[in-house]
């Protein structure tokens, strides 16, 4: 979910004397999984007192621009002490340059990113950039995974219990990401 600051303010927040590490979570519509990932990661960062070290956002490859987070995502997050705010936004090419770490929620998003931006948008780096710049979020807890194991399940139009499972999967990967970025 987009930060409430204007885009120019947000991009400035990644530069400056102490450059903040930019982390962007990308799902399909930016209403279920990526807002959860953004909220979870913000929560974990706050728990460690690292708010000034990170600029965190989320976007969608086919965003429902301006939509609030999905009601079940909000509910599951709230039960876990996390508040989701903001509105959905479309991934834009500039995001690929503005954020140091771009975490994709599934292979559909990965394919759409390739369609939207093409390989030249990322330079010579493949989507599974060994430096971790653009990668599937699930690779953090399942580095050797293949196929569907690389996807964070999209629970849209499923009961709230499916959102609980997605929350747990995203949480584990966000903890692994924060550990990796702070060690």
Residues taking part in catalysis? 27, 33, 154
Class of residue 134 by CB neighbours under 10 A (exposed 0-12, middle 13-18, buried 19+): buried
Please check whether residue 69 is in contact with residue 84, taking contact to mean a CB–CB distance below 8 angstroms: yes
Residue ranges of alpha helices (H) inside the chain are 7-12, 33-47, 71-79, 95-98, 107-117, 160-182
Distance CA 98, CA 67 (A): 23
Would you state the structure tokens that stand for residue 20, as one six-digit string?
């903040």
Would you state the structure tokens that stand for residue 28, as one six-digit string?
């399909």
Would you state the structure tokens that stand for residue 150, as one six-digit string?
């690389």
């Amino acid at each position: 979910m987009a930060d409430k600051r204007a885009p120019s303010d947000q991009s400035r927040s990644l530069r400056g004397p102490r450059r903040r590490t930019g982390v962007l979570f990308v799902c399909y519509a930016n209403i279920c999984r990526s807002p959860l990932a953004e909220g979870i990661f913000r929560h974990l960062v706050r728990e460690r007192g690292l708010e000034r070290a990170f600029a965190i956002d989320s976007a969608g490859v086919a965003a429902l621009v301006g939509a609030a987070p999905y009601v079940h995502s909000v509910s599951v997050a709230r039960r876990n002490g996390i508040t989701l705010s903001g509105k959905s936004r479309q991934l834009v090419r500039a995001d690929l340059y503005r954020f140091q770490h771009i975490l994709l929620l599934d292979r559909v998003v990965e394919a759409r990113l390739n369609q939207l931006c093409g390989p030249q948008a990322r330079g010579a780096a493949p989507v599974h950039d060994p430096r971790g710049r653009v990668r599937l979020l699930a690779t953090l807890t399942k580095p050797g995974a293949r196929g569907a194991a690389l996807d964070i399940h999209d629970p849209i139009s499923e009961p709230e219990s499916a959102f609980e499972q997605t929350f747990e999967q995203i949480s584990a990967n966000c903890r692994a990401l924060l550990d990796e970025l702070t060690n």
